[in-house]
Structure 1
Amino acid sequence: MAATSTVEQQLALITRGLTGLDGIAAIRDILAAGKVAKGFWAHIAYFVPLLKLADFVKAGLDVTVLFCDLYAFLVNYKHPLEVVAHRTAYYKFLVRGVLHILGVPDDKVHFVEGSSYELSKEFTLDNYKLSVLTDEQDVRNTGDEYRYATKLSVLPQLGYRKRAHFMNPMVPGLSGSKMSSSVPDSKIEFLDDPETINRKVFNAPCEDGKVKDNGSIISSYTKAGVLEIKLGGGELNSYQSYEEIELDFAQGKLSSSTLKQAVAVALCEILAPLRQIYAKNKEWQFVENLAYPEH
């Protein structure tokens, strides 16, 4: 049996920064029994969930990343399956590169493509059963959290064990609204150069002293761990945690300009090794041209 303190430390690492924590007791039981819990994450494209994958690996989880290639084709059918396949390959390079700079060994995370099982007879039959067991109108009129909760609740009726389900908070765009691929300055791209990162961060709204509903500089890029990774640099060298930063920001002791400077510096330092990996990887560059020929 694992020591309780170790189990609680693992749980704290697994759940930090997450919401909608459904199934913590089941995860605690698995860890307390000395077993390896399995972590599964879909729709990876942003830094925040990749930070959580690093947490999962540090906590000893067996982590799998799902690349939703078939789903991507269905919701954006203007691109043929061949292009979707190239984009899947591109994101594999990207995710592997980000995890590398976060210190996650390649063999600690498994990659799975949705099309590898979603076209099977077994998956199709389970989908039909799921359709019978769920209320279509309720699912259609509610958000992702309810839809996932509904699916989880019926898993035992399909012959599967109920899963634990955690969610990471949505990261707002730099402009304060939702991130959008059609609005380049609404997000930091993984391969953005320092000049672009600085411009995007310094142009982002961030009202002094306001913590809630104040864009993504204080609420996401700082809170998600960007400054936790590089804490101690520049004018923020006296801080030991995000909570201290938030408190001083709320009390007006830390200005938005100083905070933006720290976030920009941290992002540039964190992403610099990824740009170096990309620059040396000709195969990744070749795949990018096939995946995004319009760029």
Structure 2
Amino acid sequence: MLTVYKLASHVERDAAREAGVAIVKQIEFPMLSTLLCPLFQAADEEHLEADVHFGGADLTKCFELAEKILPKIDCARRTHLTCELVPGVVGPKMSASLEESILDPLDGGKALKNRLKKAFCEPGNVADNPPLAFTKAIIFPLLVGQPFLIPRAEKHGGEISIPDAATAEKSFAEEQLHPGDLKLGVESFFNDYLEPVRAEFALEDAQKMFLAAFPPPEKKGKAAKSQKKPPAKS
């Protein structure tokens, strides 16, 4: 907390509010805790001894503030990298604070299928379409020029091959690409691409490291039955 207090002495209220504009709900009379959020982001960099801080594009203003104020308390200025934000499975963006919105890389099979089933994917709608956004921001860049293959059953017309993101968007806008097929393709790609990650994570050493970093909460024992005290003698 001392680092946060030191940083606070170099940041005006409006600067703190502006830095958190994309990550904190904006209201007319903000709580003090929301103004401190960007300062905690900066303090984390120092206490984690980070060289590089990677985050979504919504953290850009926080990163800019950190670069400005950390040197003022004799802390190193860190390198910052940002990535494009993708919409959540539900909700405006994928966020760890809303579990239903994320696609966990370790989820496979039925878990991944169930998450994608919840994704909004209206026929012809390319403006608000999480599965289509996943193809543009994640899948096609990873394919590096290779086509996006959708393993549709022969009885439904057979495999679909889409060469690029623009074709995928055009096909969906014209309702030539069905929402069910698009979700199937996204599910198939993520399962194939992430299988080595899941296999590595299942190894004993990886499990030990994970449990050391994120120990499970202790199970609470059964609450002791309350016993009535005998009435006090007069």
Give the TM-score taking structure 1 as reference length.
0.46
- What one-letter code is carried by the residue in structure 1 that aligns with 2:89? L
1:167 aligned counterpart, secondary structure: strand
Deviation at 1:185, TM superposition (A): 3.6
Cα distance in structure 1, aligned partners of 2:217 and 2:70:
42
2:103 aligned counterpart, secondary structure: coil
Q: Which residue does 1:175 correspond to in 2?
A: 90
Deviation at 1:181, TM superposition (A): 4.8
Q: Which residue does 1:87 correspond to in 2?
A: none
Cα distance in structure 2, aligned partners of 1:278 and 1:166:
25
Deviation at 1:266, TM superposition (A): 0.2
1:197-208 equivalences in 2 (<5 Å): 197-208=112-123
- What one-letter code is carried by the residue in structure 2 that aligns with 1:211? V
Cα distance in structure 1, aligned partners of 2:135 and 2:208:
34
Deviations 1:59-95 (A, max 9, x none): xxxxxxxxxxxxxxx8xxxxxxxxxxxxxxxxxxxxx
Q: Which residue does 2:204 correspond to in 1?
A: 282
- What one-letter code is carried by the residue in structure 2 that aligns with 1:264? E
2:216 aligned counterpart, secondary structure: coil
Cα distance in structure 2, aligned partners of 1:211 and 1:174:
15
Give the alignment's Cα RMSD to 1 decimal: 3.6
Distance 1:175-1:154 versus aligned 2 partners, 3 A rule: closer
Q: Which residue does 1:218 correspond to in 2?
A: 132
Equivalent residues, number: 168
Cα distance in structure 1, aligned partners of 2:168 and 2:9:
50
Deviation at 1:282, TM superposition (A): 0.7
Cα distance in structure 2, aligned partners of 1:177 and 1:210:
15
Q: Is 1:146–2:61 an aligned residue pair? A: yes
Larger-Rg structure? 2
1:233 aligned counterpart, secondary structure: strand
- What one-letter code is carried by the residue in structure 2 that aligns with 1:217? P
Q: Is 1:190–2:113 an aligned residue pair? A: no
- What one-letter code is carried by the residue in structure 2 that aligns with 1:173? G
Residue ranges of structure 2 left out of the alignment (5+ in a row): 23-58, 151-158, 219-234
Deviation at 1:156, TM superposition (A): 8.3
2:166 aligned counterpart, secondary structure: helix
Give the TM-score taking structure 2 as reference length.
0.57
Q: Is 1:233–2:149 an aligned residue pair? A: yes
- Contact 1:228–1:241 (8 Å) recurs in 2: no
Percent sequence identity over aligned pairs: 26
Residue ranges of structure 1 left out of the alignment (5+ in a row): 1-73, 75-118
| Greater helix share, structure number | 1
Deviations 1:151-200 (A, max 9, x none): 44568888999988663232332123444557544222121122211221
Relative contact order: is structure 1 or structure 2 higher (C-alpha 8 Å, sep ≥ 6)?
1
Distance 1:293-1:246 versus aligned 2 partners, 3 A rule: same
